[in-house]
Chain A
Amino acid sequence: MSRSNADWQAVIGLETHVQLGTKSKIFTSASTTFGDAPNTHIDPVVCGLPGTLPVLNKKVLEYAVKTSMALNLNIARHSKFDRKQYFYPDLPKNYQISQFDEPIAEEGWIDVEVAEKGKETYLKRIGIERLHMEEDAGKLVHAGSDRLAGSTYSLVDYNRAGVALAEIVSKPDLRTGREASEYASEIRRIVRYLGVSDGNMQEGSLRCDVNISVRRSSDAPFGTKVEIKNMNSFSAIQKACDYEIERQINLYETGESVAQETRLWDEGKQLTKSMRSKEGSSDYRYFPDPDLGPIEVSIELQQKWKSELPELPANKRKRYAKDFGLSVYDARVLTDESSMAEYFESVVSQGVDPKIASNWITGDLVAYVNANKKDFLKLPFKPEELAEMIQLITDGKISGKIAKEILPGLLETGGSPKTFVEKNGLSMISDSKLIESIIREILEAHPKEVEAFRGGKTKLQGFFVGQLMKKTSGKVDPKLANQILLDQLRL
């Protein structure tokens, strides 16, 4: 293709639906448990039977407000629920209870770190338009065919209907697929840190819709907006955006126009395709839900909830780089999951070098945790024990090589590395008399090499060290060993 994408600018905004992890649904006490038999968690409120009264779950409000605070949004003094009306079988009432013109929070931002292989990492502030509470819809199973188009009828499961959602709407501040996926990852990190959602994209507890258009330059008017759905990973968000940007630019460059529509990301084919629109879906006729009173979160309650917020990932990243001198990369890896960050901080609080602690955690420990699907905070090998092991290395009591060897066992069982090392005779040999005698044996066994060394082949030093390590199973302090070795060779 012979054109320069540099002339074009993409304008991207994200709508993120976060399932809030409450035990009961947003407006009724039916359970939110995932994966049970169809229609296990339904009741008259979920099904929207006449005469039922929805009542807001206090925990949903708390989670929505805490998330809003973490996204630097202003909490509304007065907020209400509205009915968004459309006919679709996944919606039992033919309207969804949502928030229209008075959402719980508006006007915020988050700082997103955008890192991409081969490019410089940069920080970008992304505006957030609003956060509002609403209920989730049910799930449709299309019968008669495995594809929607060929199905003869549908089956509906309302287990998910009425599960609480927070919808977070970004401003159109994102410019690339990478920025969009980084923004979404940061939202996921934040809700997981807050403990308000598991943010599981595969199971649909975090869903992102993308709005995207392109224009010829940053001061040109916006192009026609296209909505993309159906991405179930962060890399899918990135790829769908990049694909769509290309597609739209191509259309304009060949003199065609972009249709305003909803498109679906096809993960198998790696492309977006047009989705037939729901007829009349754009006319929702919102009106205030008469069943639900307005919400006014008192200043006292806001202060209480604010005081309960944990340190958020962006601040942790900043602090790890500043206070611990960690690289941007290390800080990012360590803070990706709050459990890992907490583990790391516990290790460092024992007084060990943060850089060394970071190396062990982002290396051997992460590999083990990921491979075995473990949780850092539930590891039998406690942070104090890792700190003890690092201290043993720093003090020259064991070599790094020995540490790597004993770590897999310790990760499984836990326990004091010091005790383990003593019990198994793995401590370093620090008795210089003993080292001297071992070296003497080695030199006696290799007279030719000794002669060659003394004749100027000093590279042979490595050979002698190797012999020494072999004889002692790596338990000799290399610095001390080298010193004794040279003393003896130069006799």
Chain B
Amino acid sequence: MTKINSEDVRKVAKLARLDLPEDLIETYTIQLEEILGYVAQLEKVDTTNVEPTTRAVEVTNVLREDVVKFTEVREELIDLAPNREGDFFRVPKILSE
């Protein structure tokens, strides 16, 4: 079974930009390991003659024509952002010193 340690949890939280309080690391480590353990049951299934797939429904080549459609939701979309400045989305400074 996959072993999860507190370092893995810190890393995942960092990659997901989650600010995880230090006193919850232990809790999440246990919970994540339980989840992975639950999913790991699938490994017991014999898949010897089964083609690997990435999806439950086999559809291929779902395509659309190259046609432009204008939506009237531009203003609403920009307004959805926590911060707008004119026609722009405003975001915090990118790189930390």
Q: Is the CB of B60 within 8 A of A156?
A: no
Instruction: Give the contacting residue for A141; candidates B14, B66, B88, B92; CB below 8 A.
Output: B88
B68 at the interface (CB under 8 A from A): yes
Interchain CA distance A148-B66 in the complex, whole Å: 36
For B82-97 the 0/1 string (1 means CB < 8 A from A) is 0001111111111101
Interchain CA distance A280-B71 in the complex, whole Å: 36
B38 at the interface (CB under 8 A from A): no
A37 at the interface (CB under 8 A from B): yes
Q: How far is the CB of A237 from chain B (nearest CB, A)?
A: 25
Instruction: Give the contacting residue for A293; candidates B59, B86, B90, B93; CB below 8 A.
Output: B59
Q: Is the interface of B mostly helix, strand, loop or mixed?
A: loop
B63 at the interface (CB under 8 A from A): yes
Q: Is the CB of B77 within 8 A of A44?
A: yes
Q: How far is the CB of B57 from chain A (nearest CB, A)?
A: 8
Is the interface on chain A under 10, 10 to 19, 20 to 34, or 35 or more residues?
35 or more
A467 at the interface (CB under 8 A from B): no
For A136-166 the 0/1 string (1 means CB < 8 A from B) is 0000111100001101111111100000000
Interchain CA distance A288-B55 in the complex, whole Å: 9
B69 at the interface (CB under 8 A from A): yes
Q: How far is the CB of A37 from chain B (nearest CB, A)?
A: 6
Interchain CA distance A420-B71 in the complex, whole Å: 55
A314 at the interface (CB under 8 A from B): no
Instruction: Give the contacting residue for A140; candidates B65, B69, B94; CB below 8 A.
Output: B94
Instruction: Give the contacting residue for B88; candidates A39, A58, A290; CB below 8 A.
Output: A39
Chain B residues within 8 Å of chain A by Cβ, number: 35
A40 at the interface (CB under 8 A from B): yes
Q: A80-B54, A148-B95 are in contact. Are A43 and B63 (CB under 8 A)?
A: no
Q: Is the CB of A57 within 8 A of B63?
A: yes
Q: A29-B69, A30-B68, A296-B60 are in contact. Are A290 and B92 (CB under 8 A)?
A: no
Question: Chain B: which residue is nearest A33 at the CB level?
Answer: B68
Interchain CA distance A435-B20 in the complex, whole Å: 101
Instruction: Give the contacting residue for A58; candidates B17, B63, B69, B94; CB below 8 A.
Output: B63
Q: Is the CB of B70 within 8 A of A31?
A: yes
Interchain CA distance A440-B74 in the complex, whole Å: 85
Q: How far is the CB of B84 from chain A (nearest CB, A)?
A: 9
B45 at the interface (CB under 8 A from A): no
Q: Is the CB of B54 within 8 A of A288?
A: yes
Instruction: Name A30-46 residues within 8 Å CB distance of B.
Output: 30-31, 37-40, 42-44
Interchain CA distance A120-B84 in the complex, whole Å: 57
Q: Is the CB of B94 within 8 A of A47?
A: no
Q: How far is the CB of B61 from chain A (nearest CB, A)?
A: 6
B64 at the interface (CB under 8 A from A): yes
Instruction: Give the contacting residue for A44; candidates B14, B59, B63, B71; CB below 8 A.
Output: B71
Q: Is the CB of A156 within 8 A of B91?
A: yes
Q: Is the CB of B71 within 8 A of A293?
A: no
Q: How far is the CB of A197 from chain B (nearest CB, A)?
A: 14
Interchain CA distance A295-B55 in the complex, whole Å: 13
Interchain CA distance A17-B43 in the complex, whole Å: 40
B42 at the interface (CB under 8 A from A): no
B15 at the interface (CB under 8 A from A): yes
Q: A294-B60, A296-B61 are in contact. Are A40 and B66 (CB under 8 A)?
A: no
Instruction: Give the contacting residue for B73; candidates A23, A44, A87, A155; CB below 8 A.
Output: A44
A446 at the interface (CB under 8 A from B): no
Listed by A's residue number, 26 A-B pairs whose Cβ atoms lie within 8 Å are A23-B66, A29-B68, A30-B68, A38-B86, A38-B87, A42-B78, A43-B71, A47-B77, A49-B80, A55-B63, A57-B64, A58-B66, A80-B54, A141-B88, A148-B95, A149-B95, A151-B93, A151-B94, A153-B92, A154-B91, A154-B93, A155-B89, A156-B89, A157-B87, A290-B55, A293-B62
Which 3 residue pairs spanning A and B have beta carbons closest together? A155-B88, A59-B66, A288-B54
Give B contacts to A, CB under 8 Å: 14-15, 17, 54-55, 59-71, 73-74, 77-78, 80, 85-95, 97
Give A contacts to B, CB under 8 Å: 22-24, 29-31, 37-40, 42-44, 47, 49, 55-61, 80, 85, 87-89, 140-143, 148-149, 151-158, 276, 280, 283, 285, 288, 290, 292-297
| Other contacts beyond A40-B87, A44-B73, A276-B95: 8, CB < 8 A | A29-B67, A30-B71, A44-B71, A58-B65, A153-B91, A155-B91, A283-B15, A296-B61
